[in-house]
């Protein structure tokens, strides 16, 4: 005979103000099989959990239903409490009467009626719950970090410094990411390369870090603690083991006028190249698209120049297979293409540039060696207009969010410009100055007070060319009048967007993403560095726009999560897996076709003399992820899914 305990949580006012908990408790108390039905203000609190435990012990309960918030919130809490009271934790279920009832309905009576249905349905389910034991799986103590920007490097170093193995995969030919492109960083104005390159070298030389550059993730299979990852090593056409990085091939390459991606189109590079002088590893690649040999079949000057015989034009892509226990995704961001603002003339006027291009102009390693020269004629601009929120906070361009870093980097640009061009004038069009962060507001005040950046609150409507100047027309909303400025250069504080292939990549590794392509965390406040997939963690701007300190902090947080995972020999997994009734299984293998994880194997049933009498399906609980697709596929109803059995679900429906 079932003895179910029903615990109805008011959640303060959250449930209590909408659902009549007393009525609910009384109704549940009369439901067959319910031994205890009580209400309380906060069951998740310590005394609340104690009262649940006491009720289990005193009444020898055979099942528990907590009618409260979403199971995604506190299922683990209450299952743990049940286990502490000696009840199998899988005999506890949550009836979601907050997120899916009290918070979304206005009518108290209807909300109460719905809460009753939801709770009753769960009581019916719990009656048919089985005692389950968590599945133990071994942990491979090797982390994969995807992305070699500052977040990826930080995560890799933190994990490696704790003594665990790391594979760091970067799809470009060098570590560094966007941070390597920056000139100086706010709010301290220290040189980005000076703080970045030592970390890059440290990561590359670390005995616990295996660095795979010019490499992309081909596939990810498996689950927490036991991922199988295949990495495609894109062909560099340069043998990594032979190349010494002398750079002779780069000097001799005749294809010299290729627009440099690293310099955002402001500089030129050769067809065999390293993106920047401090590249790690310092091994060039041949850009097949622009290489004269690949285009015309003649040249090979690099191969003739190379004294190490490192150039191989026939080099194929190769694959590396890895066994991985945890994955840190640190794939970063892109800047939005500003040509979508036709009125600002980006792409039409060479002197309208974006923030990242300004970084390259101001960088000592950039195409102008740090001199501020406008792209069209190399002249020193005397008036520069900065336009903030060029793309961000603009629903019409599909970017409703704030890109977070632009206010600060525009203030920094104004400062860098003022320090380099003493006679220069700066105008900054802004919507709001968002300078929340340690030393940030002081920094933006410094741009205004010491470096005389003229902030104009308002938007720019048009930029056009007239008499060799860029005319900027906007509005000063504080003075309530239109403004027109004749500028020599215009810098757009471009929106940060997700990597163009972010969604595709999310599907490869099996994590969620939001409408913009940024990766979803498991909980915005309480689990901000975990993805919804166990064992996959998120660091840096792939999750949302972030500045360097935030990215580094998040990366270190992922490292601590990975290390916690690696601190155990065995992992406990939810026992929600499919099971097969071998007596009724007909061996039709429909389930094998349905299973996304190849978790269903064929098993021979033998008689005493070892003769095979029947061949049936057998589920490998280590591989099974518990989706239940096979169960629905099964023609003979032999398969069932623990935790979501046919009986349980039919009972839930009947309870409604």
Binding residues (CB under 8 A) for another protein: these are: 70-72, 96, 98-101, 103-107, 110-111, 113-114, 117-118, 121, 507, 510, 512, 514-515, 520, 532-533, 576, 594, 596-597, 625-629, 631-633, 641, 643-644, 646-647, 649-654, 656
**Cα→Cα distances 598→101, 418, 565, 586, 591, Å:** 38, 62, 25, 19, 10
Q: Which residues contact 47 (CB under 8 A, 6 or more apart)?
A: none
Angle, CA of 32, 34 and 35, to the nearest 5°: 130
Q: How many whole angstroms separate alpha carbon 384 and alpha carbon 413? A: 10
Nearer to another protein, 482 or 596 (CB): 596
Residue 512 CB, shortest distance to another protein, in Å, is 6
Q: Would you say 409 and 390 are in contact if contact means Cβ atoms under 8 Å apart?
A: no
- State the number of CA atoms in the 13 A half-sphere of 38 facing the CB: 17
CA angle 35–41–43, rounded 5-degree value: 60
Q: Considering beta carbons, is residue 101 or 175 the nearer one to another protein?
A: 101
Instruction: Output 121 or 551, the one with its CB closest to another protein.
Output: 121
Structure tokens at 338: 């500003």
Token digits of residue 317: 């892509």
Q: At its nearest, how many Å lie between another protein and the CB of residue 144?
A: 19
Q: Do 94 and 70 form a contact (C-beta atoms < 8 A)?
A: yes
Q: Which is nearer to another protein, 99 or 239 (CB)?
A: 99
Q: Which residue's CB is nearer to another protein, number 93 or number 488? A: 93
Give the Cβ contact number of residue 583 at 10 Å. 10
Distance CA 332, CA 497 (A): 9
Q: How far is the CB of 580 from another protein (least distance, A)?
A: 16
Q: Cα(98)–Cα(84) distance, rounded to whole angstroms?
A: 25
Tell the smallest beta-carbon distance from residue 532 to another protein (Å). 7
Q: By C-beta, is 319 or 650 nearer to another protein?
A: 650
Q: How far apart are CA 548 and CA 182, in angstroms?
A: 11
Which helix (H) or strand (E) segment is 185 a member of?
A: strand 184-185
Residue 100 or 382: which CB sits closer to another protein? 100
Distance CA 270, CA 301 (A): 12
CB 154 within 8 A of CB 162: no
Owner of token pair 């020193």: 380
Least distance CB 7 / another protein (angstroms): 19
Give the residue with the Cβ less far from another protein, 71 or 391: 71
Whole-number minimum distance, CB 513 to another protein, in Å?
8
DSSP for 244-304? Answer: ----HHHHH-S---EEPTTTTTSSEE-SEE-SSTT-SS---EE-TTT-HHHHHS---HHHH
Least CB distance to another protein at residue 524 (A): 9
Query: What is the nearest approach in angstroms of another protein to the Cβ of residue 503?
Result: 9
Q: Which is nearer to another protein, 20 or 113 (CB)?
A: 113
Sort strands 142-146 and 209-213 into parallel, antiparallel or unpaired: unpaired
Q: How far apart are CA 639 and CA 518, in angstroms?
A: 37
User: DSSP per residue over 315-364, as a string?
Assistant: PPPEEEEEEESEEEE---EEEPPGGG-GGGTBTTBTTEEEHHHHHHHHST
Min separation Cβ 506 and another protein, Å: 8
124 vs 165, beta carbon nearer another protein: 124
Nearest to 428 by CA among 394, 467, 458, 400: 458
Contacts of 74-81 with CB under 8 Å at 24 or more apart are 74/44, 77/44, 77/49, 78/43, 78/44, 78/49, 78/52, 81/49, 81/52, 81/53
| Phi and psi torsions of 447, nearest 5° | -60, -35
- The smaller minimum CB distance to another protein, of residues 67 and 150, is found at 67
CB of 99 to another protein, least distance (A): 3
Which of 19, 253 has the CB closer to another protein?
Answer: 19
**Closest of 652, 656, 627 to residue 641, by C-alpha:** 627
What's the closest the beta carbon of residue 175 comes to another protein, in angstroms? 31
Q: Least separation, in Å, of the C-beta of 573 and another protein?
A: 14
Closer residue to another protein, CB minimum distance, 96 or 181: 96
What is the closest distance, in whole angstroms, from the C-beta atom of residue 385 to another protein in the complex? 36
């Amino acid at each position: 005979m079932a003895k179910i305990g029903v615990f109805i949580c008011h959640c303060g006012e959250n449930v209590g103000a909408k659902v009549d908990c007393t009525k609910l408790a009384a109704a549940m108390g009369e439901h067959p099989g319910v031994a205890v039905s009580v209400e309380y203000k906060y069951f998740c609190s310590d005394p609340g959990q104690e009262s649940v435990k006491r009720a289990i012990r005193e009444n020898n309960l055979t099942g528990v239903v907590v009618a409260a918030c979403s199971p995604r919130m506190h299922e683990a809490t209450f299952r743990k409490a049940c286990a502490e009271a000696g009840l199998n934790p899988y005999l506890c279920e949550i009836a979601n009467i907050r997120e899916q009832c009290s918070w979304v309905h206005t009518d108290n009576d209807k909300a109460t009626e719905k809460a009753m249905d939801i709770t009753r349905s769960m009581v019916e389910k719990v009656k048919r719950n089985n005692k389950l034991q968590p599945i133990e799986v071994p942990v491979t103590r090797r982390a994969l970090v995807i992305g070699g920007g500052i977040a990826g490097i930080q995560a890799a170093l933190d994990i490696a410094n704790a003594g665990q193995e790391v594979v760091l995969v970067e799809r470009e030919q060098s570590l560094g990411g966007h941070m390597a492109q920056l000139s100086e960083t706010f709010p301290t104005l220290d040189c980005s390369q000076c703080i970045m390159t030592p970390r890059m070298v440290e990561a590359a030389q670390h005995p616990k870090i295996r660095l795979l550059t010019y490499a992309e993730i081909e596939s990810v299979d498996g689950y927490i603690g036991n991922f199988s990852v295949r990495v495609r090593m894109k062909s560099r056409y340069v043998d990594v083991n032979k190349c010494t990085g002398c750079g002779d091939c780069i000097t001799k390459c005749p294809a010299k006028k290729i627009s440099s991606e690293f310099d955002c189109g402001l500089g030129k590079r050769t067809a065999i190249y390293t993106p920047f002088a401090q590249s790690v590893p310092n091994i060039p690649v041949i850009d097949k698209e622009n290489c004269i040999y690949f285009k015309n079949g003649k040249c090979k000057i690099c191969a003739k120049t190379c004294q190490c015989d490192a150039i191989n034009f026939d080099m194929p892509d190769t694959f590396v297979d890895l066994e991985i226990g945890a994955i840190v995704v640190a794939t970063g961001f892109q800047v939005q293409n500003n040509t979508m603002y036709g009125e600002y003339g980006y792409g039409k006027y060479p002197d309208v540039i974006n923030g990242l291009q300004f970084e390259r102009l101001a960088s000592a390693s950039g195409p102008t060696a740090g001199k501020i020269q406008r792209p069209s004629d190399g002249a020193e601009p005397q008036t520069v207009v900065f336009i903030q929120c060029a793309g961000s906070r603009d629903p019409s361009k599909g970017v409703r969010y704030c890109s977070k870093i632009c206010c600060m980097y525009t203030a920094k640009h104004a400062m860098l410009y003022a320090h380099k061009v003493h006679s220069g004038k700066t105008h900054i069009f802004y919507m709001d100055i968002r300078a929340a962060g340690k030393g940030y507001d002081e920094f933006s005040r410094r741009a205004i007070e010491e470096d005389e950046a003229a902030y104009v609150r308002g938007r720019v409507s048009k930029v056009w060319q007239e008499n060799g100047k860029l005319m900027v027309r906007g509005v000063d909303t504080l003075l309530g009048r239109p403004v027109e400025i004749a500028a020599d250069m215009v810098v757009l504080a471009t929106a940060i967007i997700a990597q163009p292939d972010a969604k595709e990549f999310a599907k490869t590794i099996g994590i969620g993403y939001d409408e913009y392509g940024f990766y979803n965390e498991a909980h915005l406040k309480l689990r901000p560095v975990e993805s919804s997939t166990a064992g996959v963690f998120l660091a840096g701007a792939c999750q949302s726009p972030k500045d360097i300190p935030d990215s580094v902090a998040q990366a270190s947080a992922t490292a601590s999560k990975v290390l916690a995972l690696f601190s155990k020999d065995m992992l406990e997994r939810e026992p929600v897996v499919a099971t097969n009734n071998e007596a009724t299984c007909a061996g039709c293998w429909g389930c094998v076709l349905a299973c996304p994880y190849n978790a269903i194997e064929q098993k021979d049933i033998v008689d005493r003399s070892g003769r095979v009498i029947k061949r049936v399906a057998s589920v490998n609980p280590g591989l099974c992820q518990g989706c239940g697709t096979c169960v629905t596929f099964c023609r003979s109803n032999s398969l069932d899914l623990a935790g979501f059995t046919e009986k349980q679900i039919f009972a839930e429906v009947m309870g409604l």
